[in-house]
């Protein structure tokens, strides 16, 4: 009964490819997020959705497109992958101001 789950856990791909990461939460939360963590552990918010509506978009390249089919899911699609996209991507959800994080997806672009 994982609270926030992400798939896949690891993703290795070539530059120029398109890939998706999926996220699901079973906490009944209204708000979900995507974060990017770089190799120095710096954590940066990318997107936030509340009840399937986009509320935060932190100047992320438009190659990144989040999609929220329902309140429990927030997927991240990335087009034309670049070397600099290599990172760990975390999904999170929240109710009020406490966030719960998924285990992360390590994306490696070769």
Partner 1 sequence: GNSVTQMEGPVTLSEEAFLTINCTYTATGYPSLFWYVQYPGEGLQLLLKATKADDKGSNKGFEATYRKETTSFHLEKGSVQVSDSAVYFCALSISDYKLSFGAGTTVTVRA
The residues of the shown chain that bind partner 1, judged by CB under 8 A, are 4, 31, 40-45, 48, 50, 55-56, 90, 92, 94, 96-104
Least distance between partner 1 and beta carbon 18 (Å): 25
Nearest approach in angstroms of CB 4 to partner 1 is 8
CB of 69 to partner 1, least distance (A): 20
**Alpha-carbon gap, residue 36 to 77, rounded angstroms:** 13
Query: Closer to partner 1 at the Cβ: 47 or 109?
Result: 47
Sign of CA dihedral 24, 28, 31, 35: negative
Q: Which residue has the tokens 């672009």?
A: 109
- CB-nearer residue toward partner 1: 14 or 40: 40
Q: Pairing mode, if any, of strands 19-25 and 10-13?
A: unpaired
Minimum CB separation of residue 94 from partner 1 in Å reads 7
In the complex with partner 1, which residue's Cβ is closer, 17 or 26?
26
Please answer whether residues 46 and 34 qualify as being in contact, where contact means their C-beta atoms are separated by less than 8 angstroms. Answer: yes
Distance CA(38)–CA(53), nearest Å, equals 26
């Amino acid at each position: 009964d994982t609270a926030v789950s992400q798939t896949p856990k690891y993703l290795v791909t070539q530059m120029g490819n398109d890939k998706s990461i999926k996220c699901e939460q079973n906490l009944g939360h209204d708000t979900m997020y995507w974060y990017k963590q770089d190799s120095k552990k710096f954590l940066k918010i990318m997107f936030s959705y509340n009840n399937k509506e986009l509320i935060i978009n932190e100047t992320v390249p438009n190659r990144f497109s989040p999609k929220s089919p329902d309140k429990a899911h927030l997927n991240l699609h990335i087009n034309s992958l670049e070397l600099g996209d290599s990172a760990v991507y975390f999904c999170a959800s929240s109710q009020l101001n406490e966030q719960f994080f998924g285990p992360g997806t390590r994306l490696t672009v070769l």
